[in-house]
Amino acid sequence: MDREDYVEDILDHYQHPRHKGVLDPADSKAEGGNPGCGDIVTMYMRVDPAGRISEVSFDGRGCTISQAGASMLTEIAIGKTPKEVEEMDYEAFIDQMGREVVVSRARCATLGLGTLKAAADQYLKEKRAADGA
């Protein structure tokens, strides 16, 4: 994709967010923010009996890049395990969003990913505790 394609994709996700809203009940949720510009994102996830993320959603407010990034992430995360989410690479996600477009706003672009990683970590800790590990 070229720069214009990345910009169009970001704008589409911002104007027509995917999986936006509170997921209730959720197996795990985490809140994140970017104090520098006031972006706020809450990521929710539900895990199926096979250990894969069956539903993920986000809620929040902020700049185009932070909200579009959270929307894009919801599509990527479905079907992954919480461990796979924890292992997702920030640089690879920036590349998926369009490095040339978002590199100057990398904290905004990766806010959703950092927040979903926190939700995945919380889920795994709670699961280990429940399993007696």
pLDDT category of residue 103 using cuts at 50, 70 and 90: very high
Q: Which of 79, 101, 81, 82 is nearest to 3 (CA)?
A: 101
With contact defined as beta carbons under 8 Å apart, do 93 and 73 qualify? Answer: yes
| Domains, the chain, ordered by start | 3-130 (3.90.1010.10)
Measured CA to CA, the distance from residue 54 to residue 103 in angstroms comes to 30
Please report, as a single letter, which amino acid is at residue 50: A
Whole-model pTM above 0.85?
yes
pLDDT tens figures, 14-44: 999 999 999 999 999 999 998 888 999 999 9
Mean per-residue pLDDT of the chain: 96
CA–CA separation, 57 and 103 (whole Å): 24
